[in-house]
Structure 1
Amino acid sequence: MLVKFRNSQNKMALGLLSLMLKEHDAKQLQQLMQLYEQNPDMEMYFWKEEEKYIGIIGIEVQEKEFIIKHLAVLPSFRGEGIGRAMVSEIQKKYSDLTMNATEETEAFVQSLY
């Protein structure tokens, strides 16, 4: 189930986002979190199963498109379709917009089609 990020879940989001970044630079992660918290066009959602947050997806919503900026799943849940489910739910939520990806998320998004 897709659940919208709240500021009180900052530490959980940091942990999941660190799985995607090549370097676990705390300063870089904090700047990324500030971007999501301060920019109204940036949205972040968790994937929750049985009271556990096991994935995260971050998007930027623009006039005619949304861009998948970040996507991560806990290693023990990879290969179970969680990433696909997150992308599918975001597509449903923003069905009137075109979906795009960043350089970091493009390979995964393309693998879904």
Structure 2
Amino acid sequence: MSDVIFDIDFQKDCQVTTARVTIGSKQSGNVTKKLWNYALDRPCQHFVLGPILLESFNLTNNCKIPTGKYKIHLNMKEKAIMFLGTNFFYGIFDFKIMAYNKINNFFCVHAVMFIKKH
């Protein structure tokens, strides 16, 4: 699973104020060992999530999504490798990514993928 497609329709301008990224490694017996649990209060400035939000929604630094319809293609494996690298982190990983504010949940992705050691 690499390409996730979002069709999102924003009825009004929405500020992205918070995001959460949870990463775990899959162990034997399908048990997930949580590695990181990030709560981001400035998601547009995060080194991985920021560029995704800025490019996908044509945002400025204020992290406000203008009213409109958006079709977003997100290569989860590429973003996971950007986040983790491949030298020390390889195997099966579990990613959960959410972006939201106090009123709206913009997107929520749960992906499990295999990352090969290079």
How would you bin the TM-score normalised by the shorter chain?
under 0.3
TM-score of the superposition, structure 1-length normalised?
Answer: 0.28
- Could you state the TM-score of these two structures normalised by the residue count of structure 2? 0.27
Higher strand fraction: Structure 1 or Structure 2?
2
**Structure holding more helix per residue:** 1
Larger radius of gyration: 2
